[in-house]
């Protein structure tokens, strides 16, 4: 049977091993804490970088939207002008059609009346031609007042660009952290 001293020595040896194992566990736990803390720092930095990158993308999208909005306004102006041009051309076509019809009728009537007048009153025709030449000279000297032109359609609004100025565009992704060699 072992002596009390031997049992005490065995217990002390076992306690020594427990203390050594506990110290090793404490050291390993501290190393794990350090590594977990580094991982947490990297994750926090990564989330910050991701947030900054998403903000930069959002700002660029806002700028793109403002450019698109300006393009829409410009297209609205172009459509307005095209509508005005179409309206003017339609009105001019109607007027020209009426004028052509009237002028053709008048030309026929005038030619007939001139022919009759020259046959019936040759002296008066010569006097008429002299009077017309005199009127032409007077108009050269003192022209009649000009008729004001027909009013044009109201001008279309031309939009001024109000482009969005992005914020935070100096953002660049940070360099990745250097990894520690395993050890």
For residue range 105-120, list pLDDT tens digits in order: 999 999 999 888 888 8
Indicate if the pLDDT at residue 177 is higher than 70. Answer: no
For residue range 6-15, list pLDDT tens digits in order: 888 888 888 8
CB within 8 A of 166, min separation 6: which ones? 56, 59, 60, 62, 63
The pLDDT assigned to 114 comes to: 87
Rounded Cα–Cα distance for residues 65 and 33 (Å): 47
On whether the pTM is more than 0.75, the answer is no
Indicate if the pLDDT at residue 181 is higher than 80. Answer: no
**What is the chain's mean pLDDT, rounded?**
87
User: CA triplet 49, 55, 57: central angle to 5 degrees?
Assistant: 105
Q: Could you tell me the residue ranges of all domains in the chain?
A: 4-101
For residue range 66-95, list pLDDT tens digits in order: 999 989 999 999 999 999 999 999 999 999
Mean pLDDT within 40-50:
88
Q: Using only C-alpha atoms, what is the Rg of the chain?
A: 51
Q: Give how far Cα 28 sits from Cα of 22, 31, 62, Å.
A: 10, 5, 51
Cβ–Cβ < 8 Å for 156, 77: yes
Cβ–Cβ < 8 Å for 66, 160: no
- The model's confidence at residue 151, banded by pLDDT at 50, 70 and 90, is confident
Maximal CA-CA distance, the chain? 173
């Amino acid at each position: 049977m072992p002596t009390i001293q031997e049992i005490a020595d065995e217990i002390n040896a076992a306690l020594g091993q427990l203390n050594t194992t506990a110290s090793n566990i404490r050291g390993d736990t501290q190393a794990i804490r350090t590594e977990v803390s580094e991982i947490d720092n990297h994750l926090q930095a990564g989330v910050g970088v991701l947030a900054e990158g998403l903000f930069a993308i959002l700002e660029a999208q806002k700028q793109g939207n403002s450019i698109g909005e300006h393009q829409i306004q410009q297209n609205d102006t172009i459509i307005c002008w095209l509508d005005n041009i179409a309206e003017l051309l339609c009105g001019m076509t109607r007027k020209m059609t009426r004028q052509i019809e009237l002028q053709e009728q008048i030309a026929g009537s005038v030619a007939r009346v001139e022919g009759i007048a020259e046959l019936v009153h040759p002296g008066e025709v010569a006097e008429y031609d002299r009077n017309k030449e005199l009127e032409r000279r007077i108009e050269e000297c003192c022209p009649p007042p000009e008729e004001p032109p027909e009013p044009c359609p109201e001008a279309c609004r031309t939009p001024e660009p109000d482009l969005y100025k992005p914020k935070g565009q100096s953002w660049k992704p940070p360099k990745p952290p250097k990894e520690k060699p395993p050890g």
